[in-house]
Structure 1
């Protein structure tokens, strides 16, 4: 998954680099539109799932041409793309151990709570589509 995301960044002409220093504002990455650069902040090499989630989120900013700080609605849309890196099996296992505890699930998966929230919304919308009544052909 990481290689696929890095390849996509390269095709878009977006450079990806890392800054090993953790940020105090819980920002794991950002996209600099003027420099066409994504910076992943304070993510350890072992945190591949987190790196993929942040990269997918920031690539959405790059694809959409977002410059500067975005509002919560736009951030939510970018999160909705990043949820694709979460394994359903890993999420289900964590949710079984920590029912109704988003913080614990996020901690178990090594992901930000807002991404777990976006994933839960994704699962809910998928269930609504599956549970929707089927129309009979006439």
Structure 2
């Protein structure tokens, strides 16, 4: 297995452990006991626990925006685009146990959660801007 395959497999493999313990209470020992990720691999490929959590959240948010992209109808009405974005985002997050757990834990003021909030905000902002720029361009082509 190459590095990319290992990282991708690991991201999927840790989700049940994160859902069980949450973002705040999760410990490295939980991961090493429940997954194929050793301490040395955690540091080598993810830069530690926070790096792993950031990548897991990034992957889940990208899945969310893929869901939004696949379901949104192009329009030149910006208000309608925003409504579709909000609707499909809520639809996905209501089904994602991982994002629900993040939402529950995000009220905690721990250093880990504060770092994750910054990362999530940056990812969300990037995906929103990309969404609007592409769908506004698509609606101009349709005209």
Same fold (TM over 0.5): no
Taking CA–CA contacts closer than 8 Å with sequence separation of 6 or more, which of the two structures ends up with the larger relative contact order? 2
The TM-score normalised by the length of structure 2 is 0.30
Which structure features the higher share of strand residues?
Answer: 1
Which structure features the higher share of helix residues?
Answer: 2
